[in-house]
Amino acid sequence: MITNIYDFGIIGGDMRQVYMAQILAEQGYRVCVYGLCKEISMDIQKDVTKGQPVLREKSLKDAVHKSGIILAPIPMTKNKKDLNNQAEKEDMSLNELMEALKEGQYLFAGCIPEAFRDKAADKGVTCCDFMKNEELAIYNSIATAEGAIAEAIQKSPLNLHRSECLVLGYGKCGKTLAAYLKGMFCRVTVCARRPDVRSEASVLADEVISVNDISDNLKQYSFIFNTIPNMIIDRSLLMSVKKQAIIIDIASAPGGVDFTAAEELGIPAWLCPGLPGKYAPESSAMAMTDVLMQEMQQHVKKE
């Protein structure tokens, strides 16, 4: 049995990790943090009026070595080399994290690379991927949809109300986003590859099209939201997009839009990763903490 100074070591990430530190400390857990976003500040300490204080460690190695459960970012990495973080620390590589991990620990993160998971398993470390949890994925789609709409409102001079909107993809995020847009009285078209998915989308959407039909319809949309993580809006399709339209891409990096071509053609297009951490970090942190506790209860039962 490993004896640790801290129950949780929280490293990297965005404001979701900041709020998780606060929530766990208020629940009485011993928490240390390292390499969180700059907003971590002393506000965390001031807000903890009960439970344990949140302590900052001097290095990633110290934070990991002294903790039983490691909470890393969502997504864990953006470049497949370093932990996703905004603190610009020099010791935040995946290799250094792997070296610091020890047998018997648990690591929670989002979109954990398979190679990293395999190496961790060889060391006796259990990896739990937040984004493989169905409950959290659905909740995450809510924060993502709200963030995408917030981005669209900020970036366009047009009302969403009664606007023509195209949603590319009808997975969890696509479904939630389409539902939100319908609730705002938009005219929503959903584009999906599979016939069964298009049938499902037809219950909600005003119109449903296949991927092959995109080019025939692009000129009518003022707002285009992409959720498909593969190149789908290439240069040839961008040439059919009207100049007043905006494109909000919420797919995993590098997204599904040819952003270079969009810039050259004068079409406003943005890749918008990490929307839950930007627009709803506290709500997202609460959901992540609930899933964390459920997962740990399951692992305790197995042991």
pLDDT given for residue 303 in this prediction: 56
106-127 pLDDT per residue, tens: 999 999 999 999 999 999 999 9
pLDDT at 3 over 80: no
For residue 128, tell me if it sits in a domain: yes
> Residue 85 — pLDDT band, cuts 50, 70, 90?
confident
Going by C-beta distance under 8 Å and a sequence separation of 6 or more, which residues neighbour residue 157? none
Q: Are residues 80 and 177 in the same domain?
A: no
CA 62 to chain centre: 27
> Residue 50 — pLDDT band, cuts 50, 70, 90?
low
Q: Give the DSSP H/E element, type plus range, for residue 195.
A: helix 195-201
Residues 173 and 285: their CA atoms lie apart, in Å, by 18
pLDDT given for residue 158 in this prediction: 95
CA 115 to chain centre: 20
Measured CA to CA in angstroms, residue 295 lies from 50, 106, 140, 177, 269 at distances of: 25, 11, 17, 28, 38
CATH of the domain at 239: 3.40.50.720
pLDDT at 243 over 90: no
Residue 296: phi, psi to the nearest 5?
A: -65, -35
How many domains does the chain divide into?
2
For 196, what's the count of Cα atoms within 13 Å in the CB-facing half-sphere? 1
Q: Give the DSSP H/E element, type plus range, for residue 229.
A: none
> Residue 44 — pLDDT band, cuts 50, 70, 90?
very low
Measured CA to CA in angstroms, residue 20 lies from 95, 144, 225, 254 at distances of: 24, 18, 29, 27
Q: Are residues 20 and 128 in the same domain?
A: yes
pLDDT at 192 over 80: yes
pLDDT at 48 over 50: no
Q: Are residues 75 and 180 in the same domain?
A: no
Q: Identify any residues that bridge with 248 across adjacent strands, giving them in sequence order.
A: 225, 270
Q: What is the mean pLDDT of residues 260-266?
A: 96
Q: Are residues 156 and 60 in the same domain?
A: no
Q: Are residues 42 and 144 in the same domain?
A: no
For residue 103, tell me if it sits in a domain: yes
The structure tokens 């857990």 sit at 29
pLDDT given for residue 245 in this prediction: 96
pLDDT given for residue 252 in this prediction: 86
Three-state DSSP class for residue 212 = helix
For residue 141, the enclosing domain spans: 136-272
Angle 209-151-225 from CA coordinates, rounded to 5°: 10
Residues 201 and 143: their CA atoms lie apart, in Å, by 20
Q: Are residues 142 and 257 in the same domain?
A: yes
Q: Are residues 73 and 126 in the same domain?
A: yes
Q: Are residues 44 and 109 in the same domain?
A: yes
Q: Are residues 126 and 171 in the same domain?
A: no
pLDDT given for residue 299 in this prediction: 72
For residue 1, tell me if it sits in a domain: no
Q: Are residues 140 and 180 in the same domain?
A: yes
> Residue 42 — pLDDT band, cuts 50, 70, 90?
very low
The structure's pTM equals 0.87
Q: What is the average pLDDT value for the chain, to the nearest integer?
A: 91
pLDDT given for residue 88 in this prediction: 78
> Residue 66 — pLDDT band, cuts 50, 70, 90?
very high
For residue 230, tell me if it sits in a domain: yes
Q: Which residue has the higher pLDDT, 131 or 188?
A: 188
pLDDT given for residue 38 in this prediction: 54
Residue 239 DSSP label: T
pLDDT given for residue 242 in this prediction: 92
pLDDT given for residue 301 in this prediction: 58
> Residue 46 — pLDDT band, cuts 50, 70, 90?
very low
pLDDT given for residue 6 in this prediction: 95
Q: What is the mean pLDDT of residues 93-107?
A: 96
Angle 225-229-230 from CA coordinates, rounded to 5°: 105
Q: Are residues 241 and 256 in the same domain?
A: yes
Q: Are residues 123 and 144 in the same domain?
A: no
CA 223 to chain centre: 22
pLDDT at 37 over 90: no
